[in-house]
Amino acid sequence: MTFLYAVLLFGFLIFIHELGHFLAAKLSGVKVLKFSIGFGPKIIGKQIGETEYLLSAIPLGGYVKMYGEDVQDEIVEQARSFKHQPVYKKIFIVFAGPLFNILGAVLLFWIIFVGGIPVLKPVIGDVLQNSPAYTAGLKTGDRIIEIDGKKISTWFDMAQFIQQNPGKTLNFKIERNNELLELNIIAQTKEAKNLFGERVTVGQIGIKPAEEFFIKKEDPLTALNKSVEKCYEIIELTYLTIVKIFQKVVSTDVIGGPILIFQVAEKTAQQGWISFLSFAAIISINLGVLNLLPIPVLDGGHILFFLIEAIRKKPLSDKFIAVSQRIGIAFLFALMILAFYNDILRILDPSKMPKP
């Protein structure tokens, strides 16, 4: 089942990415010779019109082969050739792959929000002694309705608001035994660690949730808005993580490869469809973002070359592109070795496995 989950995940990510390139090429009038899911030897293939659709043996990628894409291609129909398209069309075709990965993630999150997710109610389960909440009079079973005029519907909303206001006196409206009460609580200033292990100052009042859940479903339009916001947050976090790695704030141990994806795909599938689809959306965004990095061979590298071409008013030499791509391949190969090394270490020491 692990293999099946991973194959489904990889297949979806690859299909969405290559579909973006494929549709953009078709819209731009470029002839598409091959559309393949996977690399290497052909397992099955079917010629439909001018395009051969393939399922190949190595399920770690895919490709769209366009007419006139390779240097050695003999060009007869310039109008259908990728190489002879205007720069804006070439950028559009290349950018469409990562864009579709992000749009695919928006779709997955939309399905999750419309289907409904379990959310913690803002109900107090326990109040720590000698904490600000205890001193102010909060009790087990109290439901938080509002803080400083902000409506509270989930435990996450409440916790986030308190954390963002350390040292401040907050006005709580609570429901207790069908009565509404108001309490002023000073959010205690505490030092904690953020996602990157950096020390940050947060507010805390000393409460724990009652572990009461409700299923929160969104209407289609609200779900779309939340899906776009969620994808933006993950894109921002992904780029920030890359920066933190170069700044050595985040260890390269976080880098993972196909083995890690296989393992987490299995675990999230066991936890249910929401966890699995969320993981698929996050990986899809990561694939889109990483592909846009300005590294030769990746989509971002191609876009960089096309932008330079637009500025120079002529394409870069085939020799320069070939050398740049060799450097890009070497870099990606080194990164792949590091990812596999980290994956193997996680197999040997399961405690290093990230929590899905």
The residues carrying an active-site annotation are: 18
For residue 171, what are the β-bridge partners?
184
Angle, to 10 degrees, between the axis of helix 258-271 and the axis of helix 2-27?
A: 110
How is residue 217 annotated by DSSP? Answer: -
Please report which residue ranges of the chain form alpha helices under DSSP H.
2-27, 87-115, 132-136, 155-163, 220-246, 258-271, 273-291, 299-312, 318-348
Cβ count near 234 (within 10 Å): 19
Burial label for 127, CB within 10 Å (0-12, 13-18, 19+), is buried
Q: Which SS3 state, helix, strand or coil, does residue 331 take?
A: helix
Q: What are the beta bridge partners of residue 53?
A: 35, 46
Distances (CA, A) of 167 to 171, 190, 203: 13, 9, 7
DSSP 8-class letter at 352: G
Largest CA distance in the chain: 82
Short-list 48, 52, 47, 49, CA closest to 35? 52
Neighbours of 355 (CB within 10 A): 5
